[in-house]
Amino acid sequence: MGPFRDVRTIVLPIVGKAKRDAADVLGVVFTDASGSRVPAVELFFRNLIANGASTRTPYSYAQDLLRWWRFLHAVGIPWNRASRTEVDDFVLWMRQATPKHGGDWRHRSEEGAPAVGGRFAPRTITHSIAVLAAFYTFHEQHDGPISPVPPVGRNNAHHNPGQPFDHSRRADGRQKIPWTAPKALTDDEADDLTASLRHTRDEAIVEFFLSSGARASELLGMNGEDLDWGRQRIRVRRKGSNAEQWLPASPEAFVLLRKHLGTRPLPWGVPVWSTLRGQSRRLTYHAFRAALRRAQHRAGTNHTMHVFRHTAAYRFANESDMTVPQVKELLGHRFITTTQIYTEARPEEVLEAAAAYLRGERRQPIARGPMLQYSDKARRALFGRPPA
């Protein structure tokens, strides 16, 4: 056995690309260090699309595969010669590496901008290993190399009732993911963020996010026919299934959108959200994230775009009369357990309630009104005799 790699010295080179391409059947173009497309990756993506996945799935998987491809390039190992050692080193490298701003390895954060800091999240590492497992398992089943990624397995899949359950640990490479409540904006934080935006278009987008609970890709992908001005609702195409669904939006959102558009109509097929400079084209996720980042740089905050969806979910689940199944349908969740996390008490709410109790602020008891009394006539009709 040779010497172990020092993963702390590994620096991923900026080689290869994973770019969206609407004209491509896969929705993404994946290239290696030489700029050539990778047949093994394209074959895997084609299988995903053939099995009903949307084009967003290959693009998501491509980000993890690109990181793996760059790691293999740095250690000088071809993808079909990678072993368990490379997988373990990749996990160790991710556990100590610092992600670049916004997850983009090509650009560092602007000077003075809030830094991401920290390490790759355990959920990100586990997702990367899951993608590698799916990639290598596919090729292993099609005369490819043996998968170097340890399988997940099924604990107690063939359990003998006469034996105790095997409380085995997690599968190798998968990280322990601590449960944390989804981050949501308070009313003051939402107002401060909106005040830092410099254009009515951005204010309208944020208001649509907060009032509809739509995902970023769903909201930014709307066209003119997806607006119902009369009923004040929008139509989005859901992540994964691409199914169409109408969502409500606040009157303030439509007022801001009309203020942004003026008298300009939105015909069918025309994007609702367009760029403000140069030739008008659809506003992409990365372009709006950059605008949001600049606004937060001025405000001194560092919220992600997905925090808008969490905020809307908390408001629907706790401040409205909607039931949890209704909120699940509105958010487009597959399982109700995903929606139930928004009914949990938020840490700031717990702290405020506890502090109020310690300050001696007691909740006032509900005043009881006078008990209702039956009239003599009613009691006579009920019991058939004069009241005692």
- Give the model confidence (pLDDT) of 201-247 as tens digits: 999 999 999 999 999 999 999 999 999 999 999 999 988 677 899 99
DSSP annotation of 363: P
Token output for 245: 């669904």
At residue 385, the 3 state secondary structure works out as coil
pLDDT for residue 381: 74
Give the side-chain half-sphere CA count within 13 A for 278. 4
pLDDT for residue 384: 73
Residues 54-105 have pLDDT tens digits of 888 899 999 999 999 999 999 999 999 999 999 999 999 999 998 864 444 3
Task: In the chain, count H helices and then E strands.
Answer: 14, 5
What number is the average pLDDT over the span 311-336?
94
At residue 338, the 3 state secondary structure works out as helix
pLDDT band per the 50, 70, 90 thresholds, residue 114: very low
pLDDT for residue 110: 40
Q: List residues with catalytic annotation.
A: 215, 239, 306, 309, 333, 342
What number is the average pLDDT over the span 142-160?
72
CA distance 280 to 178: 44
Q: Taking 90 as the threshold, does the pLDDT of residue 40 lie above it?
A: yes
Of 59-63, 96-100, 277-281, 381-385, least confident by mean pLDDT is: 381-385
pLDDT for residue 129: 94
pTM, entire model: 0.69
Give the side-chain half-sphere CA count within 13 A for 246. 8
- Is the four-CA dihedral 94, 95, 98, 103 of positive or negative sign? positive
Q: Taking 50 as the threshold, does the pLDDT of residue 109 lie above it?
A: no
Of 52-56, 81-85, 313-317, 373-377, least confident by mean pLDDT is: 373-377
| Assigned CATH topology for domain 187-343 | hpI Integrase; Chain A (1.10.443)
- Going from N- to C-terminal start, the domains of the chain cover 7-140, 187-343
Closest CA to 205 of 301, 295, 267: 295
The helix or strand, by DSSP H or E, that contains position 208, with its residue range, turns out to be helix 200-212
pLDDT for residue 226: 96
Token output for 194: 């909106």
Give the side-chain half-sphere CA count within 13 A for 18. 21
Q: Taking 90 as the threshold, does the pLDDT of residue 128 lie above it?
A: yes
